[in-house]
A and B are shown apart, each in its own frame.
Chain A
Amino acid sequence: MSLTLEQVQRIAHLARIEVSESEALTTQGHLNGIFQLIEQMQAVDTTGVEPMAHAQDLSQRLREDAVSEGDRRAAYQAVAPETEGGLYLVPKVIE
């Protein structure tokens, strides 16, 4: 398997990372090298093997539906690039 330049550009868009034409070419080379390594997996017959998502086979813990955290909005927004009146500012999305 090898990725085309168009595929590289498509996944870069899916990941919301801008890539120039020349970056896409270098990235294509690197990714294809890595996928060559990954392809070794395809030779293995894993029929009937249960996928392992996690190191511990535990179910999610549940807790009481109660407020456990205090109001730290000011502290959390202090590290934001741009806020106003308690809101995060982004470019206009609705005309």
Chain B
Amino acid sequence: MINKSLKELAQALGTKQISSVELSTLFLDRIERLNPEINAFVTVDREKSLKMAADADARIAAGTAGALTGIPIAQKDIFCAEGWRTTCGSKMLANFIAPYDATVIRKMHHEAGLVSLGKTNMDEFAMGSSNETSYFGAVKNPWDRERVPGGSSGGSAAAIAARLAPAATGTDTGGSIRQPAGLCNLTGLKPTYGVVSRYGMIAYASSLDQGGPMGASAEDCALLLNTMVGFDERDSTSLDRPVEDYTRGLEQPLAGLRIGLPKEFFGEGCDAGVMAAVQGAIKEYEKLGATMVEISLPNSHLSVPAYYVIAPAEASSNLSRFDGVRYGYRAPEYGNLDDMYMKSRAQGFGGEVKRRILIGAYVLSHGYYDAYYLQAQRIRRLIANDFVAAFQSCDVILGPTSPTTAFKIGEKSADPVQMYLSDIYTIAVNLAGLPGMSLPCGFAGGLPVGMQLIGNYFDETRLLNVAHRYQQATDWHQRRPDGIA
């Protein structure tokens, strides 16, 4: 049961082979047994989960169930869920019980009838690529417990890889769905900016943040995405578009598909083992009838520098709300009001979050705004234009998700710049606002390798199709780590 796809689980629930309460209990028991070592979940509430499962069973019995009603999933702890502790991986929110639901939570649980197994660990305020910046400790990669699962959605990735949950949500500001999916042998999708509501999703960099599904396959991601999307008047950047069924194109043949290979993603800087796996995927796509087109994204090397101006600038503004007055941590001792702010923020935020707030405060300050912030926004335009030009000659873009496989816990945590460069292939996609995916394409040194697929705006259905057909022809995505039975 633990290795079944969402479609199979839905069938098992629909035919009363298993109830949602039984299925949810199965996963809750696994979490109880395996989570102490993996540290994928920060909050589990068996009673709440089983109540949701009982409600789902009632819907199934009454014949009012949706496609995924009763299936348990894990929620990244960035989504506010009413009555659930919602920490965003920070001491600042370690005791915060959300008083309202994020739109994603409302849609997935209250409307679609999915069951929440709990809240997953993450880099503090989604700032990190290894899950090591969490106040609740590092998450272990189920493929090698001395290694990181990636980040910031590292808890969600580790939870699925260890089969503590069939699927999960993530959020992606610079690669936070795709990179952990790649490092943990999963499939993850970052939708086009504006497709998934950001209401109740704790903000890091608002012009880049986007929620999306993570799972064992493209088909699972398509089904999950169906429950997450939709116009939301509570998010001023939510797009009002016709509803789509993201599973509708899964089976389309790939004959005639033009896959763009950016020469910048196939040069120096990528591990040989990673490159070999990606080359293998290219051969497989050729067998499936696709043709390869060499393209160029000439400004992609500027994506990391531009991102580390834009994202911290937005973060410094977003995180000014944590002042120890209305919610969150307040220092136990302080003098005047200013001192209360300074001490609450100094004690409530971790090192990486403080670094990014300081960078942001600096690049937005008088005299530096033009040289840094506006220059970064101009480069953002150049990067987005590169994609517009590239999509003139191809339908999707393919390359590695990350330059390496999962690195050791502690290996990069002392050097922020080294850590930032692990997102070198994913960040440009967020700057442009495009949809991107990662899916398993092999192993290097026993560790999973992810390939990235980038689509044109609103081309999620095609991305999922391209990923699904590959997964029908290969079995990389079905490999599971040892020792998780």
Chain A residues in contact with chain B, CB under 8 A?
Answer: 3, 7-8, 11-19, 27, 30-31, 33-42, 44, 46, 49-56, 58, 60-61, 63, 72, 75-76, 78-82, 88, 90-93
Contact = CB atoms under 8 A, between A and B. Distances in A.
Contact of A52 (B308, B340, B360, B384): B384
Given A15-B357, A51-B381, A91-B334, A41 B325 contact: no
A14 B313 CA distance: 13
A79 B306 contact: no
B374 interface: yes
B193 interface: yes
B338 A16 contact: yes
A41 to B, nearest CB: 5
B416 A78 contact: no
A75 B323 CA distance: 19
B81 to A, nearest CB: 14
B484 to A, nearest CB: 36
A42 B338 CA distance: 36
Interface stretch (B156-164, B251-259, B342-350): B342-350
A38 B327 contact: no
Interface of B: 96-97, 99-100, 192-194, 207-208, 233, 236-237, 239, 299, 301-302, 304-306, 308-309, 316, 320, 323-330, 334-343, 345-346, 349, 354-355, 357-362, 365, 371-372, 374-382, 384, 415-417, 420, 431-433
Nearest to B335: A91
A56 B194 contact: yes
Contacts of B330: 81-82
B302 A27 contact: no
Contact of A51 (B337, B377, B417): B377
Contact of B239 (A34, A53, A56): A56
Contacts of B349: 17
Contact of A44 (B236, B302, B420): B302
